[in-house]
Amino acid sequence: MKFEITPGVDWVGKIDWELRKFHGEEYSTHRGSSYNAYLVRDEKTALIDTVWSPFAKEFVNNLDKEIDLNQIDYVIANHAEMDHSGALPFLMHRIPDKPVYCTANGLKSLKGHYHKDWNFQVVKTGDKLSLGKKELIFVEAMMLHWPDSMMEYLTGDAILFSNDAFGQHIATEHMFNDLVDQSELFEEATKYYANILTPFSPLVTKKINEVVAFNLPVNFICPSHGVIWRDNPLQIAQKYLQWAADYQENQISIIYDTMWDGTRMLAEHIARGIKQADDKVTVKLFNISRRDINDVVTEVFKSKAILLGSPTINKGILNAMSALIEMITGLKFKKKKAAAFGCYGWSGESVKILTDHLSKAGFEMIGDGFKAMWQPGDEALAQALAFGKDFAGKV
C-alpha cells in the first residue's frame, strides 16, 4: 500500500492493524499503529525511515514495485528504534552503497543495532540536502525521544517529517487528521505524549520554539506513527506546548488495588468526600489490577492530584500498584499533588510505602495518608469520606 501526500511525496509505510502491545509489553495499542515511511521524489529521491523488522520483507517488496530501488539516492534514518529502522538491513542488502543520513548519535545507535558499516552521512541541525528544486533541512531532536532522534523539513512542499514526535498509535485507512474521529485521535495523541514524552517536556518546549523561530510555513506534519497532520497541522505542536507545560485538568484520580474490597470501599468513600467538597472537580476511580496501565498513566497525566490506595501484604503493597509507581516515577510528572490510603490487618505499612514512593516521584504530598484496620466499618468509611473532603480542600 502507498498513497500520495502531495505530488512527489508518497507514504510507503505499513499499517499494523493487529498490534496490541508495543515496546515489548510496555505500551498498549488498542487501536493498532502504523510505521510511516516516506518517499520524496524530485531530481533526486530520498526515502525517509522504514518499518518494524517483522514487516521488512513486505516493505522492501512493496517499495520495489513503487520504484527501482537503485533510484533511491538517499536513505534518511531519523531514529534507530526498530519500529523505524527495522527494515534497514533488508533494504541495505539490496542497495548497500547508498548513503544513510543520520545524526552523530544515530551513527552510534544504528551501528549498535545492526553492526554494519553502511555509507553513513552524519548531519546536524541546519544541514541541507538538495533533492533538485526542493531540499531537506535536518533538525536534530535529541531526546525526542532518543538521543539519536532527528526530523527534517522539506522546502517547497513545506512538510515537517517529525519522526516519533506528534505521532499516535492508530491503525486507520484514513491517514489524514481531518478524516478520522477527533476524539479517538486526541485520545491516542494524549496517551502517546503522556506515556512517552512526559519526561522530556522541557526539551519539547525548547525544540518546538526553535522550529517555530525558523518562521517557515508548514503544510503537513508527517510523524512516524499514525495519521498525517494536514488540517491546521500546527494544532498538534500547540497541543504539545500545552502538554509540556506541566499539563493538568480539573481532575482527581483515585487509583487503588484491593484484595477483599476494603481498600475499594475506602476509595469510593474518599471519592464521595471529594465530590461533597467540590462538585466541579472530575473524580475518576481505577482499580489498577483491572485496568490498562498506560490508560491509567494517561489519566494521571490529566490529573491535578492523585490518590493511590493499596492494602498491606507481606509488609508491602500489591504488585499492580508497584508497576504503576515504577512507571509514574520514570515519567517525572510535575506540579501534581497526591496522598495515599489503604486497609491493613496487622502491620499496615502500605500507606507509608505509597507516600514515600509518591514523594520520591516528585508529587507534592498532602498529609500522611489514611489507613483503616481490618474491613472498614461505618466509622472508618466516615473517616475516609472526611479524608476525601479534606484532600479536595487542599488541592
Q: Name which of residues 307 to 336 contact ligand FEO (CB under 6 A).
A: none
Q: What is the DSSP string of 61-118?
A: HHHHHHS-GGG--EEE----SHHHHTTHHHHHHHSTTSEEEE-HHHHHHHHHHH----
Task: Tell me, yes or no, if 84 is annotated catalytic.
Answer: no
Task: Tell me, yes or no, if 81 is annotated catalytic.
Answer: yes
**Least distance in Å: CB of 308 to ligand FEO?**
29
Distances (CA, A) of 199 to 73, 205, 329, 359: 36, 12, 10, 17
Distances (CA, A) of 256 to 25, 39, 94, 284: 22, 48, 53, 11
Rounded to whole angstroms, the Cα distance separating 338 from 355 reads 8
Q: Which of 41, 225, 275, 389 binds ligand FEO (CB under 6 A)?
A: 225
**Least distance in Å: CB of 82 to ligand FEO?**
8
Q: Which is nearer to ligand FEO, 37 or 338 (CB)?
A: 37
Are β-strands 305-309 and 337-344 bridged in parallel, bridged antiparallel, or unpaired? parallel
Q: Which of 41, 84, 337, 371 binds ligand FEO (CB under 6 A)?
A: 84
The closest alpha carbon to 220, from 209, 205, 235, belongs to: 235
Segment interacting with ligand FEO, rule: CB under 6 A, options 79-87, 117-125, 212-220, 304-312: 79-87
- Out of 16, 49, 164, 268, the active site residue is 164
Rounded to whole angstroms, the Cα distance separating 371 from 2 reads 58
Rounded to whole angstroms, the Cα distance separating 198 from 205 reads 11
49 binds ligand FEO (CB under 6 A): no
191 binds ligand FEO (CB under 6 A): no
Q: Name which of residues 106 to 145 contact ligand FEO (CB under 6 A).
A: 145
Q: Which of 16, 140, 152, 164 binds ligand FEO (CB under 6 A)?
A: 164
- Out of 10, 27, 79, 152, the active site residue is 79
The residues pairing with 130 across neighbouring beta strands, listed in sequence order, are 135
Task: Tell me, yes or no, if 25 is annotated catalytic.
Answer: no
C-alpha grid cell, residue 12: 510507503
Residue found under cell 478524516 = 179
Residue at shortest CB range from ligand FEO: 81
**Least distance in Å: CB of 29 to ligand FEO?**
11
**Least distance in Å: CB of 351 to ligand FEO?**
37
Task: Tell me, yes or no, if 93 is annotated catalytic.
Answer: no
83 binds ligand FEO (CB under 6 A): yes
The closest alpha carbon to 347, from 324, 316, 325, belongs to: 316
Q: Which of 50, 224, 253, 312 binds ligand FEO (CB under 6 A)?
A: 224
Rounded to whole angstroms, the Cα distance separating 121 from 99 reads 6
Task: Tell me, yes or no, if 115 is annotated catalytic.
Answer: no
Rounded to whole angstroms, the Cα distance separating 110 from 116 reads 8
How many residues belong to the site for ligand FEO (CB under 6 A)?
9
Q: Which is nearer to ligand FEO, 145 or 264 (CB)?
A: 145
Distances (CA, A) of 89 to 40, 105, 171, 240, 385: 21, 18, 25, 33, 60
DSSP at 375 = S
Q: Which of 16, 42, 49, 81 binds ligand FEO (CB under 6 A)?
A: 81
79 binds ligand FEO (CB under 6 A): yes
28 binds ligand FEO (CB under 6 A): no
Binding site for ligand FEO (CB under 6 A): 79, 81, 83-84, 145-146, 164, 224-225
Active site residues: 23, 79, 81, 83, 145, 164, 192, 225
